Amino acid sequence: MGDIDSIASSNLVTLARRKFDTLVIGAGGGGLRAALQLSQADANVAVVSKVFPTRSHTVAAQGGMNAALANVLPDNWHWHMYDTVKGSDYLGDQDAIEYMCRAASHLVVELEHAGVPFTRLEDGRIYQRAFGGQSQNFGGEQAVRTCAAADRTGHAILHTLYQQNIRAKTHFFDEHFAVDLILDDDGYVLGALTLEIETGELLLIEAKTTLLATGGAGQLFRTNTNAHINTGDGLAMVLRAGLPIQDMEFFQFHPTGIAGKGMLITEGARGEGGYLINKDGERFMARYAPKAKDLASRDVVSRAIAVEVRDGRGCGANGDHVFLKLDHLGAETVHKRLPGICDMVTTFLGIDPAVEHIPVYPTAHYTMGGIPTDRDGRVVAPVNSGEEPVPGLYAVGECACVSVHGANRLGGNSLLDIVVFGRAAGNDINEFLTANRYHRPLNDASVEQALTRLARWDRTGDGESVSQLRDELQSTMETYCGVFRSDEVLKEGVDEVLALEKRLEGAVLQDHSKTFNTARIEALELENLMELAIATVCSALERRESRGAHSRIDFTERDDVHWLKHSLFFKEDRRLDYKPVRMKPLSVESFPPKERVY
C-alpha cells in the first residue's frame, strides 16, 4: 500500500488540470441536451465521453418519444400522466411525472426545430404511433402518443443534439473515462478525475457544477439488451462519494432475448402466433397463464421462462433457455411478417426461424433505479428527516431516478425523460452558475483518494482476470437477482456477490502499458458493476413485496401499506434507508394506488 500511496502523491503534483463552468459526464441524449442548454447560454461546458459521442446508447432507442400532441387521436398531458403513474405501479413521483408530461409537447417541437426529422402525417403534422400502456381518458381506449423518426428516433435525436453542441462550442473530451467525483469537506462537488484512453494520461477537470449522464447498467446481467458501454459508471461514482442510490431493485426485463446474447426478439413474434416450448416440447405458458398464454404481460412470461429453466425443463446442452417456436406458421408468413427478426436470427444464430426454433431467455433492458434527483436534475441526499440537494451535482437520464418510471417504465418515456430533464438540469445549472461565480478551492485529499484507487491496478504478479470475474458476476446476477426472486435465492445472491467482490480485490492486470490500455478501463468498469450488483441484490432482498419489475415468488402481492416508498442504498455498511413517494402532483389531484389491470 505504501508504494501505491506514494504513486498517488507524485501524480497529484504533475496532474494536468482544466477548469470549466460545467462538466457533463456522458454524451447520450440527456447529457447533450443539458450541455446544449448551457452552451447556448454562454457557459463554458466540457462533455466527457468514454466513446465517441454519437456512439452513446441513446442511438439504440428505436420506439419513439411520448407526447400528447393529439395529432392522430384526442389526447392530453393529464392522460399521459395517469398512464405513467399507473405504469410505474404507483412508485413514480407524481410531481416529476406531471412536470415531464406537461413539458413533452414543447420538447418535441423544440427538437423538431433543432433538426430531428420526425416522421409526418399526410397533412404535414408529426406522425404518432400507438404503444403499450397508453390510454385515452384515464384508462380508456388505446391512445396514439409516440412520436418517431422512422425506427431510428434515438439516433436522430443524438446526432441532432451533437451537431447543435458543436455549433454552440461545447468542448468535447472524446474517449475519456471518468474515474471519480472530487468533493470538498463541505460536500460540494468540484469536478472529476478523468483518464484519456488513448494516451493513458490523467486529467483533472474542475467544474462549478458536474452533471452525471452516464446511462444505465444493463451489463450487470449476463443476458441484456444494452451496449457494452452501459456499466453504470455514474451510479458507482455517486456511491463511492458516500451518497445513496435509489430503487435499484427495479430492473426491467424483456421475456424474449436471444439466449446468451441478449438481443430483443419483439412481442411481434408471439403476436403472429409464435409460442414458447420447453425441452419436452410442451407449450408451458398454458400452465402459467391459461387464457393469455404466450401473450401474457412481460413480467409473467419472463418469470415462467425462468421457472422452467430452474426446474430443469430448459433446452440446450446446459438447459439454460427455452425455445420460441415459429416454424408452424409457415416460411412465407415468418419471412413476410417478421423480416427484422429473421435478419437478426439469421445473422446471429445462422438459422432460419421458419425452420429452426429460436433459443430465448429473459433479457435485462432498463435500469429504473438510479441517482436520486429532484425534478430540476439536482442530486438529493437525506439530511435529518428530509433531503437536500448535493451542491454542484446533477444527474439526468437512465443513470438518474427522478423518479418518473417508478417500478416499471413505459415504452416511449425514456427518450422523453432524457430531453425533459436534460433541459431542466441545464436551466437549474445556469441559475447555480449565476449565484456561484467562482471555482471553490480544490480538495487534494479527494483527488488523492481517486488516484490511489486507480493506482491499485498498477499492481503486478498473479491474480484473477477481470474478464473471468465479470462473466461470473453477470451470471450470478442473472441466477440470483433476475426475474426469479425469493428470500432464499436473494440471500444466496448477496453471499455470492460479496464473495466476488472479495475476489476482485485480488485481480491483477496482465497489461500495464500506458497507451490504449483498454484492459485497465474494463477493470474500472468491473469495479463499477460490482458496486451496483451489491446495491441491486441488497435492495431486492429487503423489498418484501411484488411491484412492477420487482417480482417476488414469496411475496406475490403489492403491499402499499409497508412498501409504497423508495429504497436508498448506501455503500457504507451496505445500509438501506427509505423515503416516501411524492404522491402530490404540481397542480392536479393525486392518483391514488389502484390495482394495475390492463
Q: Grid coordinates in use for 452?
A: 490511489
Give burial (CB, 10 Å; 0-12/13-18/19+) of 10.
exposed
513 is a contact residue toward other proteins (CB under 8 A): yes
Q: Grid coordinates in use for 143?
A: 391512445
Nearer to other proteins, 238 or 344 (CB): 344
200 is a contact residue toward other proteins (CB under 8 A): no
222 is a contact residue toward other proteins (CB under 8 A): no
Task: Identify the residue among 41, 60, 508, 583 touching other proteins (CB under 8 A).
Answer: 60
Choose the binding region for other proteins from 58-66, 265-273, 328-336, 423-431 (rule: CB under 8 A). Answer: 58-66
Nearer to other proteins, 177 or 484 (CB): 177
Nearest to 545 by CA among 495, 593, 494: 593
Specify the DSSP class assigned to residue 534.
H
Q: Shortest gap between Cβ of 39 and other proteins (angstroms)?
A: 22
Task: Identify the residue among 226, 252, 256, 539 touching other proteins (CB under 8 A).
Answer: 226
According to DSSP, the residues that pair with 124 across neighbouring strands are: none
Nearer to other proteins, 226 or 446 (CB): 226
Q: Grid coordinates in use for 542?
A: 429487503
Do 279 and 314 contact (CB within 8 A), yes or no? yes
Nearer to other proteins, 110 or 174 (CB): 174
x/- letters, 315..354, toward other proteins (CB under 8 A): ----------------------------xx--xxxx----
Residue by residue, what is the 3-state secondary structure of 319-359? CCEEEEECHHHCHHHHHHHCHHHHHHHHHHHCCCCCCCCEE
Nearest to 244 by CA among 92, 41, 381, 339: 381
Task: Identify the residue among 125, 167, 228, 283 touching other proteins (CB under 8 A).
Answer: 228
**301 to 230, 259, 291: CA distances (angstroms):** 25, 15, 13
Nearer to other proteins, 49 or 449 (CB): 49
Choose the binding region for other proteins from 129-137, 432-440, 513-521, 526-534 (rule: CB under 8 A). Answer: 513-521
Q: Shortest gap between Cβ of 261 and other proteins (angstroms)?
A: 6
Cβ-based neighbours of 533, under 8 Å, separated by 6 or more: 220, 473, 476, 477, 481, 497, 500
Give the active site residues. Answer: 298
515 is a contact residue toward other proteins (CB under 8 A): yes
Q: Shortest gap between Cβ of 219 and other proteins (angstroms)?
A: 10
Chain centroid to CA 517:
26
Give burial (CB, 10 Å; 0-12/13-18/19+) of 124.
exposed
Choose the binding region for other proteins from 202-210, 226-234, 491-499, 529-537 (rule: CB under 8 A). Answer: 226-234
Q: Grid coordinates in use for 222?
A: 449476463
Do 365 and 252 contact (CB within 8 A), yes or no? yes
Residue appearing with cell numbers 437525506 = 382
Nearest to 541 by CA among 554, 557, 530: 554
x/- letters, 18..57, toward other proteins (CB under 8 A): ---------------------------------x--xxxx
Task: Identify the residue among 227, 295, 508, 583 touching other proteins (CB under 8 A).
Answer: 227
Chain centroid to CA 171:
25
Task: Identify the residue among 33, 86, 145, 159 touching other proteins (CB under 8 A).
Answer: 159
298 is a contact residue toward other proteins (CB under 8 A): no
Interface ranges with other proteins (CB under 8 A): 51, 54-60, 152, 155, 158-159, 175, 197-198, 224-229, 261-263, 343-344, 347-350, 511, 513, 515-518
